[in-house]
Amino acid sequence: MVHLHIRTLAAASALVLSVSVFAMGARPKADDEGANKRIAPIARVELTAAAPAAAGSRSGEQIYKAICGACHEAGVAGAPKTGDKAAWAPRVALGLDGLMKSAIAGKNAMPPRGGSDANDVELARAIVYIANKSGASFKEPAAK
Ligand code: HEC
């Protein structure tokens, strides 16, 4: 139990780290905007993809990579590993609504919303992202 607790703390600080890196992520400054206009549309697409998106507009993959992967990628603190179909099968059986309920409330070592600031649509997208890599075929929710 103590061991689990330490691992949870480690995961939590990794989480804070990735969250702050995400928050500090390059939002284009005035200069960048100018550069943006001067360079080819292809390069602008890349810059746009790298900039933090407005709340509610992040993809499941973005939320996963910034937050959820800290635990689910390696199976930290008892988290079902992404891609582990056996571990996910009974959870997938709860349906997207059931998984939304436990993700919103938090479950055992998982904090509410997985510790993220994702809104409901983003959280659902992140769940669809994890679950569909783990045997589910949930449909991505439409944008709000
Ligand atoms: C701090 C570690 C941690 C983070 C970060 C985390 N999870 Fe989890 N997650 C867990 C653990 C542990 C469980 C297993 C809980 C249990 O069943 O005991 C879990 C379970 C789940 C489940 C299954 C819930 C169920 O009812 O069985 C879903 C869905 C899920 N996580 C989604 C997410 C999403 C989406 C994110 C990112 C927004 C996320 N998690 C971030 C630790 C984490």
At 63 the pLDDT is 98
Q: Which two tokens stand for residue 21?
A: 């890196």
d(CA 107, ligand 1 centre) in Å: 7
Residues within a 6 A CB radius of ligand 1: 11, 15, 63, 67-68, 70-72, 76-80, 91, 94, 99, 102-103, 107-110, 113-116, 118, 123, 126-127, 130
- Closest atom of ligand 1 to 78 CA is 12
At 53 the pLDDT is 53
Cβ–Cβ < 8 Å for 30, 6: no
Cα–Cα dist 117/128, whole Å: 17
d(CA 27, ligand 1 centre) in Å: 29
d(CA 39, ligand 1 centre) in Å: 41
Q: Please write the tens of the pLDDT for every residue from 11-42.
A: 444 444 444 334 444 444 455 555 555 544 54
Cα–Cα dist 131/3, whole Å: 27
pLDDT band at residue 109 under the 50/70/90 scheme: very high
Q: Please write the tens of the pLDDT for every residue from 113-137.
A: 999 999 999 999 999 999 999 999 9
- Tell me what the pLDDT averaged over the chain comes to: 77
Mean per-residue pLDDT, 44-63: 67
The residue with greater pLDDT, 11 or 75, is 75
The residue with greater pLDDT, 81 or 37, is 81
The residue with greater pLDDT, 14 or 64, is 64
